[in-house]
Amino acid sequence: MLEIQPIKAFNDNYLWVFKDSGSSKACIVDPGDAAPVRAYLEKENLSLSAILLTHHHPDHIGGVNDLVEHYSVPVYGPESSSIPQVTETLHEGDSIEVANTSFRVIEIPGHTLDHIAYYADASSNIGIENPVLFSGDTLFAGGCGRIFEGTAEMMYNSLQKLATLDPQTQVFCAHEYTLSNLAFAEAVVPEDSILQHRIQQEQAKRENDIPTVPTSIALELKTNPFLRCSEESVSQKFPELAQQPIAVFAALRQWKDQF
């Protein structure tokens, strides 16, 4: 069984550490800072067996050099001149075996051109109860990442690709942005009762310092406006863009950038 835990870093990053149940070897996703990772491994009496990277931003790769100095481990990641530490370059459809689990690589450009995600489900893994997705900065709980290098169309298509995954997929994104994302979602669809219920639940978690992630694909399809651009409740905010979901998405993302 796969065990996944967050390591908090910076103001709002989650560095995801995971391992096979009963194993003393762990993997880390997007270690932007090595210090909390090394502290966690020491505290839990674990050794590092692999590093997985989703994209090249410093808060996701900043701790790699330090970690590989202390642990001789493979570094999996996208093909990018900005991440020379990668030892195993990955592309769409590739698979890797780490922590006794097979992860499929999904290319999801938009936030950056090199962005990838890691997905594991029961089709290739015994003991996976719900599929797992490490989505980096593309799909967030209640929102999506900013578009720094790609286009709105790229980001829309990447999100749609993730939206087709098993609804029970547990989404492990890299930041605690949920309450601010849901505040924006409420501005888009203020009368949505499912969204209102979610806001109450997530607020209660944060009041008790409990992470709001993982989320699920099912929940995001119901409450994340960036996955609902074809729904009238969202697109009616932009009547001039009727029947143009990519244009609605672009308008939503621009609105959120200034929200």
Out of 57, 114, 115, 192, the active site residue is 57
Active site residue 70: no
CB within 8 A of 10, min separation 6: which ones? Answer: 32, 33, 59
Out of 20, 30, 33, 59, the active site residue is 59
Q: How many Å separate Cα 133 from the centre of its chain?
A: 7
Task: Please enumerate, as own/partner, the contacts of 233-242 that have beta carbons within 8 Å and a separation of 24 or more.
Answer: 233/189, 233/192, 234/188, 234/189, 237/188
Gap between the Cα atoms of 14 and 97, Å rounded: 22
Beta pairing partners, 17: 5, 28
Encoded amino acid at 123, one letter: S
Active site residue 175: yes
Active site residue 56: no
Out of 33, 60, 114, 192, the active site residue is 60
Out of 20, 114, 121, 175, the active site residue is 175
Active site residue 55: yes
Dihedral class, residue 223 (left if φ above 0, else alpha if ψ from -120 to 50, else beta): alpha
Out of 55, 56, 115, 121, the active site residue is 55
Out of 111, 114, 115, 121, the active site residue is 111
Catalytic residue IDs: 55, 57, 59-60, 111, 137, 175
